[in-house]
Structure 1
Amino acid sequence: MTEQTIDPGLYASMEYRCIGPHRGGRVVAVAGDPLDRNVFYFGSTGGGVWKTTDGGQSWRNVSDGYFRYASVGALAVAPSDPNVIYAGMGETSIRGNVSRGDGVYRSDDAGRSWRHLGLAETQNIGEIVIHPHNPEVVYVAALGHVWGPNAERGVYRSTDGGATWRLVLHKSSKAGAVDLSIDPTNPRILYATIWQAERGPHYMSSGGEDSGIWRTMDGGETWQELSRRPGLPQTGVYGKIGIAASGAKAGRVYAIVEHEYGALFRSDNYGDSWSRGSEDRDLRTRAWYYHHIYADPQDADVVWVLNVDAWRSIDGGNTFSVVQVHHGDTHALWIDPRDPQRMIMGDDGGAEVSYTGGASWSTILNQATSEFYHVTVDNRVPYRVYGAQQDNTTISVPSRSNSGFISTSEWYTVGGGESGYIAVKPDDPDIVFAGSYGGLLTRYDARHRL
């Protein structure tokens, strides 16, 4: 076959259009409007910031055209002015396919427009907290570069709404801040966790001498390390740590700790001493991917730990039970300080809203944020598109539909799994081969659904 040249003018006016599937992808950042009960936001690890105004029944992207990168690692709405939103770019659930970001963006009109505030070389941001009474005071937990050392790591503070930043907590060029919690009873008190971690082409290192827990009592001017306070492990290496200050009881702090003798820990004196809670390993599996903890704003004994499952304790962290959600691999939770029954969860399947404290959740089949490792097409007219979705199944969707829109009834899985390639038989598009982990190879016959 001889090479053919196609006139670019034939496709110059063509535009991309979304063909789905509208099932959610990984979400590690969520937030809610403190005043409007129907408004929530989530940050996708590959699709920017999304907003709902109907309690999760529908979502729309609000960052396209403003963001230069797509991966959102942190999201916060100002408690005193819900028009002000900060987004931190680049996730800190550092899979081998982690995407970097370019610092912090701010919206002053509830997501309608955004402007970049700098900190581009932080690349991966784990948390953002805003002063409860002043939207111009904001703190950023910057993990820094995933693949090697860099200087732009630690806790940054701005007192002018992001116009300028000051690095107020810095441990080293190989360890950055991954979590941050402000005490709702006294916003001068904040807790930060530092994580020494690095990804390489064939390895993942979590933990080191620079990991630990820190506290400030003066809004970030000075910090004290709490890592070896009574009750916490006194020797050995710390890894990733999640931290949460309770708004229901002054002085109460929860931490989920990666360590040889790790567990859930609780303090009732601002971190000066700690008691050991649940040691359940299911709370601490794959800490580098999870290790997120959230305190109920009105009940001091209710605390959530997010891992493969969503876990909730009602006895101060001593025992936990699973809360059912639509998808596993849970990463982020926002609980309404005024009504703890109202919340939003982020996981590998998208974002879901609850008004019942987790007893029921909105659908995740309405978010065009799915992440695909590989895609291919067949030879039909019109053709179908095939892909392997992260933490989900393979799927085939049509490139167009005779019904005027592409519905879920026209989707189907084709075997294999999230990591595999898909190959369609050239002379019979109903025969599809798909791979997955461990050398799995499947053959699917769409004609007979076998």
Structure 2
Amino acid sequence: MNIFLRLSRWSLPVFALVLLGQGCLGGQQTAQGPDGGVFETTTGETWTQQSVLNLGTKLGSIANVGIASLAVDPEDNNAIYAGTVENGILYSLDGGKSWSNPEALKSGRVDGIAIHPKSKCTIFALRANQIMKTENCNRDWTQVFFNPRTDTKFTSIVIDWFNPAIMYVSTDDGDILKSENNGMTWRVVDRVDGVRMNNIAMDPKDSRTVYVSSFGQGILKTTDGGENWTQIRDELNTFDGARKTTAVILDSNQANRVYHLSKYGVLLSDDAGATWQSVALPSPTNSIDLTAFAVHPKDSKKLVYATDNSVVFSSDGGLTWTSQKLPTTRSAAVLLYTPTDPPTLYLGSAAAKKK
């Protein structure tokens, strides 16, 4: 399955607390003030930095935190989860206005989060080579699986929306694993040795169809729940650099519509990956690094992507684009729409660049 600077939204005491660094996550702050964490917009024109950290008897800030992943509860769209670069998991129950950092999972990088579609207190998180799980709304987290290869990291996780006992995870060393018993046991269903698997996307119309992006081998796809896999690779050769796929994104409004992200830019398929066409961006192909991409959950013509310094919107399916500066000096790591009407767009900022 995901932001901007307007600190006047918060009261003066909170603003002072952020600057003084009391109860703050993310390490040392800059002299200009922290501009990381999570931002949100409903208009695409103005952004709000959502940075208040609930510490029980006092308030802190997540404004210096780097975000690696975002997820929204399908049953309660005010429940937002953020995987951080080094501070474990954050969660908000009020649409991002305030955040909590559960004691049991407050360290390490979390690259993937999945919420059970029928049991909102059951959440899975990927931390390095571990799959973590809570069944009581973040009060306790336990390790349900770990990869004995400690240098291999899990990169993405999805839960089958039709049969939530089924789950898929990917690794940065070429594995795609499947569980059919709520994460208790796992088996490798496909492998491309040494190739980083970046993200997993499940078809919103048929959960047996799953796409996995790989850096170097294009897209891996199954239509039978992981028993057989095909590679969408040769179809991408027309587009220079497109086999180095960084993400695959599905349009929940349009059956068989798939977006492909790579160094080349953005490709679009309307036949489930059989054929592809280039989506014209303001910048030439192979000239920008796309850091995030999202499709509006109610209108397929509305697209958004981010680069290191810009967020770019289209309202006509990519024919024209409008660019604005990011509301942060950091790059955008992830974009996430909520399925509400109108939706909220969340942006997770990357870790601060080291000087």
SS of 1:225's partner is strand
Q: 1:114 to 1:295 in 2, by over 3 A?
A: same
Corresponding position of 2:232: 226
Corresponding position of 1:268: 270
What pairs up with 1:255-334 in 2 under 5 angstroms?
255-258=260-263, 262-281=264-283, 287=289, 291-308=291-308, 309-322=310-323, 325-327=326-328, 328-334=330-336
Q: Give the distance between the partners of 2:258 and 2:81, measured in 1 at CA.
A: 26
SS of 1:242's partner is strand
Q: 1:57 to 1:318 in 2, by over 3 A?
A: same
Corresponding position of 1:24: 64
What pairs up with 1:168-179 in 2 under 5 angstroms?
168-172=189-193, 174-179=194-199
Which AA in structure 1 matches 2:179?
A: S
Q: TM-score, normalised by structure 2?
A: 0.74
Corresponding position of 2:255: 250
Corresponding position of 1:75: 113
Q: Give the distance between the partners of 1:19 and 1:103, measured in 2 at CA.
A: 26
Percentage of matched positions with identical amino acids: 23
Which AA in structure 1 matches 2:251?
A: S
Corresponding position of 2:39: none
Which AA in structure 2 matches 1:268?
A: D
Q: Please state if 1:39 is matched with 2:66.
A: no
SS of 1:65's partner is helix
SS of 1:61's partner is coil
Q: TM-score, normalised by structure 1?
A: 0.60
Q: Give the distance between the partners of 1:132 and 1:118, measured in 2 at CA.
A: 21
Corresponding position of 2:343: 341
Larger radius of gyration: 1
Q: Give the distance between the partners of 1:19 and 1:75, measured in 2 at CA.
A: 23
Q: 1:138 to 1:312 in 2, by over 3 A?
A: farther
Structure with the larger RCO, 1 or 2 (CA within 8 Å, 6+ apart): 2
Say which is worse superposed, 45-54 or 297-306, in terms of deviation: 297-306
Q: Please state if 1:158 is matched with 2:187.
A: no
Q: Does the CA-based 8 Å contact 2:77-2:339 persist in structure 1? A: no
Q: 1:235 to 1:104 in 2, by over 3 A?
A: same
Q: Does the CA-based 8 Å contact 1:31-1:344 persist in structure 2? A: no
Q: Deviations over 1:214-235 (max 9, x none)?
A: 2111111111111222x65267
Which AA in structure 2 matches 1:213?
A: I
Distance apart, 1:332 and its partner CA: 1.4
RMSD: 2.6
SS of 1:60's partner is coil
Q: Give the distance between the partners of 2:125 and 2:287, measured in 1 at CA.
A: 27
SS of 1:266's partner is strand
Q: 1:224 to 1:71 in 2, by over 3 A?
A: same
Say which is worse superposed, 114-123 or 71-80, in terms of deviation: 114-123
Distance apart, 1:70 and its partner CA: 0.8
Q: Does the CA-based 8 Å contact 2:218-2:243 persist in structure 1? A: yes
Corresponding position of 2:221: 215
In the alignment, structure 1 segments of 5+ residues that lack a partner are 1-16, 90-100, 145-152, 196-209, 350-389, 392-417, 420-450
Q: Give the distance between the partners of 2:168 and 2:74, measured in 1 at CA.
A: 19
Which AA in structure 2 matches 1:256?
A: L
Which AA in structure 2 matches 1:301?
A: K
Q: Deviations over 1:225-282 (max 9, x none)?
A: 11222x6526767324311111101011111122xxx231111111111111124448
Q: Give the distance between the partners of 1:219 and 1:56, measured in 2 at CA.
A: 34
Q: 1:213 to 1:347 in 2, by over 3 A?
A: same
Q: Does the CA-based 8 Å contact 1:125-1:178 persist in structure 2? A: no
SS of 2:104's partner is coil
Q: Give the distance between the partners of 2:286 and 2:85, measured in 1 at CA.
A: 22
Q: Give the distance between the partners of 1:234 and 1:19, measured in 2 at CA.
A: 45
- Count of aligned positions: 295
Q: Deviations over 1:42-74 (max 9, x none)?
A: 111010001112222221102x3357x511111
Say which is worse superposed, 176-185 or 313-322, in terms of deviation: 313-322
